[in-house]
């Protein structure tokens, strides 16, 4: 087995941790990526990760670490690109549900969320009434 110097292992670990942190907490990509790009990258990352696991089973620890490292880096890029897919400020004109902000449907614009889909205490009371009338394990529909 080949010995890798401690300083090189520390650099390798620092690069992995830094890129993972940037992928999840850094600035998202400016442009929305095409789904097939990040899907293909995810498959490549998973393949590198799987090859690294196979190399570890074959007793090649250094090769395994390199392959798993490349897989983790690739999956970090995938995570970063994935952050660009769900931007609220971008709208491609497609369908889909509304946002989760209660003020999106605010009737009078005062920010209290009393739009058509607003939560009402009577709704919660009706829900708990319904739950108390049905025993656990009893089919709800039927």
pTM comes to 0.54
Q: Cα separation of 15 and 21, whole Å?
A: 10
Q: Which residues contact 87 (CB under 8 A, 6 or more apart)?
A: 28, 32
| Least trusted range by pLDDT, from 51-60, 78-87, 99-108 | 99-108
Q: What is the pLDDT of residues 69-100, one digit of tens each?
A: 999 999 998 888 888 776 544 444 444 445 55
Residue with tokens 């590198």: 48
CB atoms under 10 Å from CB of 75, counted, come to 19
* Per-residue pLDDT, 95: 44
């Amino acid at each position: 087995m080949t010995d890798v110097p401690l300083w090189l292992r520390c650099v390798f670990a620092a690069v992995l941790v830094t890129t993972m942190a940037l992928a999840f907490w850094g600035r998202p990509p400016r442009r929305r990526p095409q789904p097939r790009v990040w899907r293909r990258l995810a498959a490549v990352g998973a393949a590198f990760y799987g090859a690294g696991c196979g190399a570890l089973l074959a007793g090649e620890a250094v090769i395994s670490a390199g392959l798993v490292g490349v897989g983790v880096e690739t999956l970090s890029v995938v995570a970063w690109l994935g952050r660009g897919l769900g931007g609220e400020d971008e709208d491609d004109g497609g369908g889909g549900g509304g946002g989760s902000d209660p003020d999106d449907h605010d009737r009078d614009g005062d920010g209290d969320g009393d739009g058509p889909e607003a939560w009402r205490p009577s709704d919660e009371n009706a829900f708990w009434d319904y739950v108390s009338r049905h025993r656990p394990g009893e089919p709800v529909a039927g």
